[in-house]
Structure 1
């Protein structure tokens, strides 16, 4: 700020008058300048790069310039400048040719204190040898007696910027962060505390195409067990050391009483920013509060949970989530639980409650990544109460002297304790249910009788069947656990296409949850949705629609029609209607998309899903141009939000290819199907439903362009895998067989075409209208057997629509 700089140059008696004249009527500027000058008065000239003690005035010498040679190092470009030193990119000429970074004490800063600090950093770096810490190669003094040292040149970005630019997901960010913890742990093992850890001091570079963090700038590092230099250094008592935004509470008391847990706190703030995209507080707001208030808040204000902070970002939530390859709601869910408590444990004001070392911090993150129980947990009621009293000593002491207030306080605390107890009991019940479910499921995979394994041929289906039978006998009297297991196993049966087994378990889960939790509980609604999905795939459409509408009505009443869960319920209803080829699906899905765009914005997961579903409805209704527009919009959103290498992006590519096929844009469709097939195979495996759908689609595109040999190869491969993975009585298997019937007809193989078509109808092919208009089958139209197949298909389609 130029006003502050000019005011500092005024004689002490004239400072105030100068500031008032310079700021004129700008009250905000006047307050900020006054705060800055008060800070100067308290801290001396530390923010002006430390005071120079009397008798130690430096000798001014020419500054370094580009091209200057310092021994075997030629300065190329100044790439950084701090309070006491500047960093240059340099070229080493002998004995090696390489680029290095040269840190050189600044002209005019070569006092004894500054030289001692500079050599302290040089010695700290020299002590360490770790992949996550920039290495020191050489050191010396220039002909002008300016100390320098040469270190590894790190061509990288601050860790937060690197992660955002490369859109690293939460897991990748955590794995990169644990490497940083390893570097800080190494420094601690060498008895060095960094004291200024922040994103700009952790650069990420690429080595062998893998991101590697490098910790830099040990300029304010502190030695714990030895002196880093034999030169005199001031103790800096009464001087703030570090960066305010990343400073630990103990750094603000100015006593120098810090230990390795100070760095753990700063690491916690870096992790917070990596996960959320923001610090737990608004930095600008804190800066405006004045230095005394800033220090008080660092010592006393508890940070928001990362999940809560992510929810409170407002307009910034969508880009923050996009940088993590997800959407705001999913990001919040990813942070809730383990990551919330891990970060908050690192950010405890009381350092005895933090992780004892960076390695403990990294180990905790490792447990989370391996889905193991973590040590961090919400603070106890006693601890929260003690902190409240410490923050409000005066108010509590006054209240203690007034009986009426004391009684009121006691009552309010009792009510709060009861509320917390209820929450605790609920959490304990949920934890107990989770434990019992885990024990039950683990028990299913433990075969007590060796003969029962039959040579390791026991199947997942047999394990499921055995578990379904044991629910009633082993969990009697535990309705909540029973319902949880029935819901879980029912969903597994459903994912395997075993809908009759799934229906029985999920129906019972709904009844039990309605009785125990109530009809409006989120778990009850979740089970209702799962049952409706099963009914839909059993072609029990009336029952499915009734459940979908009931769940939608409850959600609209309890949380409102514009909540994401209500819009999702509307989507589920419309998607089922599309599968029935109902034109009234379009207004339902149009409403869902309108609400999602208005309330959630274009980049929300539910909005993208609504776009895809409405596009599917348009395609089924023959409105291919409108479908193509929406499918392209959905694909663009998926690529922007999730990146090109995501299963949902592959699905969106396949959807667009399908609608292009319907509008006879075969060449572009073929290209898209190839892209979807490559993605699905790499991301999901060769036998996944999405992979098989893309393979069948590619065969269809080959067929329509009369690339018959490739079409036959792709379609036969798809059919073989679908029979094995999905079974024969499956609409996808039947659809592939219908494509093979088309191929046989085009090749003049009448008998084969009729046989394939009949098989497809008998095993779930229900698209009578498409069969009537299929130009590939026109050579069969005069054959009475084909006419009989048409009638059979019409009856099957009619029966399906009636159901």
Structure 2
């Protein structure tokens, strides 16, 4: 039986054969199909069917061709006007929507007879990919459905534009204008990556340019080969099969051209962007595709994997006949074009085209950041920044200012001396202020749990007194006041006094924004710290808003490969994880850790923090071996740097215990958590929120081993302390209450368990709403309690609520608190996930 992989290979050989001269075609087939007569037969069949010259280009990748009839003139509310083209999965039509609004759209239709499971699955993936994205540089999706014959279709924004390269050439855009347009493309691809989607077939024909208010605006189309980094549609990461090459040879990355490489990641798109950049700058592809007509297909793939391209500045001078016309389309002459590409643009482009993906830019945003540095006449990261190079960039960036400054310096030497004296006095005053700041910081360090060793009452007294004193004595120095308040807020946070920390950090942020502006190191650090404090109190919406702003401003100010940017992105990861958005958190955590390893080194303490973050994301997604490996590595680093009793070390051990418990090793988890709890009780004190939280985890591990009575005693004590210290609505208190209720239920003390579970569900739903994962968990716990009593109807009712709440979180659907959950039925995405949840439940029932 013919497989999709075999069909794809036959199609690729046939396409290459068509590009050969007629006399050389037979020899090419002899070479390409050697030892595979059945493959030769299939290729010859395809060549015989290609009478009109467009059969192969119109055939769906992965399936043999099928006869196809024109679709009906109307599909739902869409009237087909004309066929725009044929892609990898089907036809694209220009259509007119007749209701509820009248507009022109692009309708993509799987070709008749070809929508088997594999093709339908890829079409579903494209539909999901487009639906997840909202960006000016990405064509929007409006609707999706199926014809009366069951033929799937997708309705998208109709982009009436030119190919990216054609637009630039027709408008004769300069190199810098092309780069500014290319930056918008990078932003769109970066947005797709942030949604965990890799395009895998970026090329000028998939990037159309229109003009909006007279300004060029690119639109990325055709996500037909897109791959989700973390799947949301079942089975969609299985499209790439061994030996099947997905993509366009001139633009595909070396790893896409290698049949042994299966883990295609976001850097494949970076390579394709590099090819597009090369073409925008030079008018040529990095390789001479004209020679490919005379070569075997495996030789073409070998060149893609092994040969390095010429520098763009050298490429533009290689073809003398074409160099003048290409320079003209860039509004320059051949010599100036070569000079403008030499240096920075050469190294930026070649870094994007590195064969080893570990040496490429980590993502489109890093490539864009280097291009922005070039446009701003700042040193680019792709080339070593020598002193002479930096000086050259500075002079070019500030040419007029340097000339004026030189003249002023010559005319006003005496004035400069006076200014130097004044500067010295100002510096001395600043040093005195810094001395005060250092003294105050050292004073506050006694409140840090790592230093106080349980002396938290005295620390809080010192902190409260210092807070009042600073507000009174430093009111005239806002910068120093903000610095001190930031320190105090951080220490309050470490003590678990989140409300006081929030108040101080909010005041600090107000001063920072007023004094320094939003794009400033101090402001960015304050936003990240405040976001974490808000998240610790369950205020996740405001926390995410601040964390995203902080991460964006840090990337803009410092660049992506910077320790401060990493910290800001880690704060955003923390919020995403608390929101239950584990796939997004995992993608962000992986990029952060990879950057930290290369930038800071694998044994840096901050790298260990990012390792723990990625481990928590992996564990939440069920990747327990990977999580355990990352955590043990982090523990080793923290123990070596800080010692076994330091909070950093026991923080890592805490998460290792949680991972072991979730992976079915409760006894080992209890042993580690016992060590963690003893250390935290000694270091932080018995009533610290962190200590109480770990005590709750320890009780949970004891309960997991069936020692419900022992667990109930510990839970009861912890819950009383948390309600007294943190309040009944604190996230930690509610988590303990839900876990505690399970222990009395197992002991058949159902009255107490029911009261606890109902109170917990009511509080969680009131505080966080139905879009938070905690609400689904609380409803599930109540369903389990009723199931233990044999109260079937009540158990099923709350179990259905739990599933629906969970699906709301996964699909991102937004419904009001008062809206009936039954209104979700009929939503295709919701129904698909509900069916999958039901299937898994039946499987579990059979297994049990």
Normalised TM-score (structure 2): 0.42
User: Bigger radius of gyration, 1 or 2?
Assistant: 1
